[in-house]
Chain A
Amino acid sequence: MKDSELISRIKEGETELLDVLIAGHYDGICRFCYYKTGDREAAYDCTQETFLHLLRHIDTYVEQKKFKAYLYRIAGNVCTDWFRKNGLQSAGEELLETIPREDPELRRLELSDGILRAFQVLSQPQRDVIILHFFYDFKLREIAQIANIPMSTAKSRLKQGMDKLKAYMKREDGYS
């Protein structure tokens, strides 16, 4: 059953379908929180908080066939709150042009070494856009909604991120 159909039936009172909706998005949200926080425990906490937020606010959600983007935006905000609560600074706009050589957050991620090193050449905002685009197949318009940025910014972050990844791949092992 599609998300839009589930939402419409939930809105009509079939709240038990929320279980189906949550189970369907659980893995994706959990991995997204993991990519964002780089911490397994934090990822589980943020996932739980994301779905609790969804449950509390589902009544006010207006279906426009953008549920997935809406849910990932909640998850993104929950992760930002997690950074704030833990006194960590989530990389923001100001870091866009800097290239963090050694990102401690990434060290905690259990991605394969190649990807881990590749992600180190990206700033956090660029990494978010790359993850949403390549791992979750979101369109630029949806990425802009999730990250709460203009579409032009999302586009430029994606372009810059892709250029950096391409350059990294060329340097590393002859991807060209």
Chain B
Amino acid sequence: MDKKRIIGSERKQEAEIRAFLKKSEQPYIDEERKRRMLELLRIERKKLHVRSRKSYAKRVLEQAGYLSPLAWILQGAAVLFLGWLIHVEERNSILAGLLTCAPMLGVIGFAEILRSYQQNVWELEQACRYNLRQLMGMRLLIFGAVDSLLACCVIISGFQAGIRAEELLVFFLIPQMLSDSVYLYLMTRLRQRFQVTALIASGVMLTMFWAQIFAAVLQTPQIVEQLTRPLALLAVLLVSMGLLALSCTRFLQETETAAC
């Protein structure tokens, strides 16, 4: 009871003091001086380099949000088409379809990356928080991840349809990686001159090239047998991956000077 009374009296005392102090005028703030000081602090703030603590994954996801919905729609359509191809067609047609589709998947992703150059957005992007190399790296990673997921789906579906994993690697994954390496090489060499139309044209040419290869393979089936031997397959796979990694590195290095 006493404790309650003490608390009540303290509250009353506090309220009275608060009311008494409220009567005081707040010290005057010179608005002009305030404005000048805030301006000075703004200049100082601009010199500041706060290291971004946003995780890389969060930044990549943020970048994914900026990519055109058309790219995602086309990727989705590619998945559906390949799914239909694997489940509907017979074995040789599946392999021919996969081989000729492989270069076109790269076209979807790289067209989105090229859009930045074609629309001169790189000028803006260079002035952003992340440099152009980081931005391009993130975009390559996004499409790389999407393509890897798609390749996994194709390999699993193909496997279920009775096609050997080695054949799926030879007829889909390796051509896809080699095609992507070609696009990256052209983008690095030709810079801004390599635009979306040129990309699509090279995609079509690569499709025709792989179609010719497939025709040659049909005439001499022992080529597939030799290529699907574990050691040969491993070597071809490693060479393709190496080429793709090299092309990615060169492309990202080139973006440092791309705006010049």
Contacts and interface: CB of A to CB of B under 8 A. Distances in A.
Given A12-B53, A26-B34, A52 B26 contact: no
Contacts of B16: 166, 169, 175
A149 interface: no
A105 to B, nearest CB: 14
A111 B28 CA distance: 10
B4 interface: no
Interface size classification for chain A: 35 or more
Nearest to A17: B45
A111 B22 CA distance: 11
Given A162-B17, A169-B16, A13 B27 contact: no
Interface in B23-73: 23-30, 33-34, 37-38, 40-42, 44-45, 48, 50-54
Interface stretch (A43-51, A71-79, A83-91, A139-147): A43-51
Given A19-B38, A169-B16, A134 B48 contact: no
Interface in A52-110: 52, 55, 58-59, 109-110
Interface string A125-137: 0000000001100
Interface residues of B, number: 31
B29 A27 contact: yes
B14 interface: yes
Nearest to B39: A19
B29 A22 contact: no
A118 B45 CA distance: 40
A134 B229 CA distance: 82
A97 to B, nearest CB: 20
B54 A12 contact: yes
Contact of B41 (A44, A52, A59, A118): A52
B45 A114 contact: no
Given A51-B37, A55-B44, A162-B17, 15 more contacts: A12-B52, A13-B54, A18-B45, A26-B38, A30-B34, A43-B27, A44-B33, A52-B41, A52-B44, A59-B50, A112-B24, A112-B25, A115-B20, A165-B20, A169-B16
| 8 interchain residue pairs of minimum CB distance | A13-B52, A115-B24, A12-B54, A34-B27, A112-B24, A111-B24, A18-B45, A31-B27
